[in-house]
Structure 1
Amino acid sequence: MNRTHATTMTAAALTAALTLGGCGSTASQRESGPAREPSAAQSRLLERAEQILIGACMAERGFTYAVTEPAREGEAQRSFPYGVDDVAWARAHGYGGRDERTAAEARRDDPNQRYFAGLSAPRRAAARTALMGASPVGLTATTPTGMTLTAGSEGCMADAQRALYGDLPGWFRVKVVTMNLRPVREARVREDARWTEAVGQWSACMRAAGRPYATPADSRRAAVEATADVPPERADATEIALAVTEATCATGTSLARVSRTLDRAYGEEVRAQHQDDIDLRRRFQNDALPKAERVVARHTHREGDSHA
């Protein structure tokens, strides 16, 4: 993972640079009509700019914050919400236990985690307050599933997002809504009688293979129980064997096909119901891109000067 440390340019200076360079208006973000979805590269640019702004803000408050490259999803990060249905993937990854151990090691190696862990308790508390605010209040939003989420409107994370997106409460709300559409889609799939019927076929296949589980969730729980407190090599072998059986039954019955069909249909339905919020989030992001480009360019220029 490539890492660079935060520059010494202050948060106030960066924010001033954004203001002088021109900021998108809230009104423009609320215009009606479809909005262009940012590309993967543009999304990474926004994430990096936010990290740089956080780093500058933390430095201004007397703390260190490393600017790290956003993690990129790969083959190992695949999700199977309705049961593993890829035999080759299951044979290589099981249920992802080994991949999660690798990810946990990477998180422990994160320079910010190491920095916070090395601080004294009072200093660590002060650093967390600087980063996230004194308490998670000030921002509130309700997910499509009805859960209310709150976050702090103070601290460097909030300041960085405010500098990029302008309307912090509005940005927080649409981000919460759009990032929580997936649970709604998946719940509708599982409630569909066609999926329940397909799971019945899958369960019969599993019983015939000596794995008497009613649902893929039961199979996953059995894997967790069977691999608890055992050496990693043994845990991986046990997990892979069960995941391969699960995937074989998913592809050998209608479960894989029905899951994909229903997921696509309900995904379109859920997105249509929340299209206004999806478009508003994209407009926030599109309006923030010029600011993000300036932040990253200044950071890159200063990093180049510091290594000259």
Structure 2
Amino acid sequence: MKSHRATTTTGIAAIGLAAAVLLSGCGAAPDGRPSGRHPAASSREPSPAESRTLARAEQVLISRCMDARGFRYEVTDVVGASGDGARSFPYAVDDVAWARAHGYGGREERSRARALEVDPNQRYFHRLSPSARVAARTALTGASPVGLSVKAPTGVTITASDEGCIADAERTLYGDLEGWFRVKVVTMNLRPVRETRVHRDRRYTDAVGRWAACMRKAGRPYTSPDESRQAAARFGESLPAPEADAAGTALAVVEATCATSTPLARVSHALDHSYGERLREQYREELAERWRFQNAALPMARRLVPPSPSASPGKTEPSGGSHA
């Protein structure tokens, strides 16, 4: 799978936030049958605002758990903050105006990296002694990734600990930790399956051939969007940031122009939609069950995370833990 996405982050803060992130669904909610686990919960897909509330509630619970175990953990959205440049183009950059403004998103990725450097959990984690750092990681994620195991639609088996504060937070919020982990892993891995299927489709590869011919005419002899992005990444390795951004932006504009002037943009969007619909139907029960888990957890999440109009991405707020 080839895609243009935000840089992956590591460390105690990234682990905690990644565990709390709830993807917003893949489309309209299926007509799922009532679940014995949540017979009264709706299978309506939660709104983005509701998903953010759930994610933040999980962070509050993680913070309280870590505090009880003698460690500090602040609730902050800084690692997951995103701006106008946070867009994904898994098949080709196909928005010329966006490309002119953002290139391949390098400036935004550097901004996210800088935000991570000042994240209070990252700073706290790195200030700990090696032994205390191990203890903090164990408190957060469990001693080892065992206890939870699910085979994702990608074919990869995902494992996690059923101990530690992440597991405790999810168990508190969703009740059935194993059931929640199963539907979370399955539904969060539908997107890479969809993108892989599009990339392998003959209609997509034929469209890429037309795109490559356009690129050659423009003096950019790249055979695929992935190859042009690799070229843009090399600019960052050999040029100062401003020059690399300018060179990358110029290349991204050509990529987008060729994507929209050939069938590539139209074909990739159509295939993405078609494969997405098939996957939604194939995994309709898992999607409906995930949304039932989330809707059943919303009352608790709202008690943990009262509305805060002043809250903004990147701003650390009181977590509800005694340390905050």
Interval containing the TM-score (normalised by the shorter chain): 0.7 to 0.9
Q: 1:302 to 1:32 in 2, by over 3 A?
A: closer
**Deviation of the 1:37 alpha carbon:** 0.6
Q: Is contact 1:95-1:240 (8 Å) kept? A: yes
Query: Per residue, is there more helix in 1 or in 2?
Result: 1
Q: Is the 8 A contact 1:33 1:279 kept in 2?
A: no
CA distance in 2, matches of 1:65, 1:302: 8
Tell me which residue corresponds to 1:79.
Answer: 88
Instruction: Report how far residue 73 of structure 1 moved.
Output: 4.2
Deviations 1:171-197 (A, max 9, x none): 111111100101111111122221111
Q: Give me the TM-score of the superposition, normalised by structure 2.
A: 0.81
Does residue 167 of structure 2 align to residue 163 of structure 1?
no
C-alpha separation between the residues in 1 aligned to 2:205 and 2:40? 39
**Partner of residue 26, structure 2:** none
> Any unmatched runs of 5+ in structure 1?
1-25
Quote the residue 1:59 is aligned against: 67
1:199 alignment counterpart: 208
Residue 181 of structure 1, aligned match among 190, 197, 216: 190
- 8 Å contact kept, 2:60–2:319: no
Once residues 51 and 288 of structure 1 are traced to their aligned partners in structure 2, the CA distance between those partners, rounded to angstroms, is 14
> How many pairs align?
279
CA distance in 2, matches of 1:179, 1:67: 23
Q: Is the 8 A contact 2:198 2:271 kept in 1?
A: yes
Question: How far apart, in 2, do the equivalents of 1:51 and 1:185 lie?
Answer: 30
User: Structure 1 residue 28 and structure 2 residue 37: aligned?
Assistant: yes
Cα pair distance change 1:124/1:197, threshold 3 Å? same
Find the partner of 1:41 among 49, 57, 60. Answer: 49
Shift of 1:221: 1.1
Structure 2 residue corresponding to 1:288, chosen from 272, 297, 311: 297
| Equivalent-residue separation in structure 2 for 1:76 and 1:163 (angstroms) | 35
Q: Distance in 2 between matches of 1:203 and 1:37?
A: 39
State the match for 2:154 in structure 1: 145
CA distance in 2, matches of 1:133, 1:64: 16
SS at match of 1:188: helix
Select which of 127, 132, 143 maps to 1:134.
143
Deviation at 1:28, TM superposition (A): 3.3
Q: Report the AA paired with residue 35 of structure 1.
A: S
Select the structure of larger CA radius of gyration: 1
CA distance in 2, matches of 1:273, 1:55: 37
The 5-angstrom pairing of residues 107-118 of structure 1 reads: 107-118=116-127
Kept in 1, the 8 Å contact 2:236–2:244? The answer is yes
CA distance in 1, matches of 2:305, 2:42: 28
Q: Per the alignment, do residues 289 and 132 of structure 1 end up closer, same or farther by CA in structure 2, a change over 3 Å counting?
A: same
Structure 1 residue 74, shift from structure 2 partner: 3.5
CA contact (8 A) 2:75 2:318 kept: no
* Letter paired with 1:112: N
Larger RCO, structure (CA 8 Å, separation 6 or more): 2
> Kindly, what percent of the aligned residue pairs are identical?
59
- Secondary structure of residue in 1 paired with 2:305: helix
8 Å contact from structure 2 (residues 139, 165) kept in 1: yes
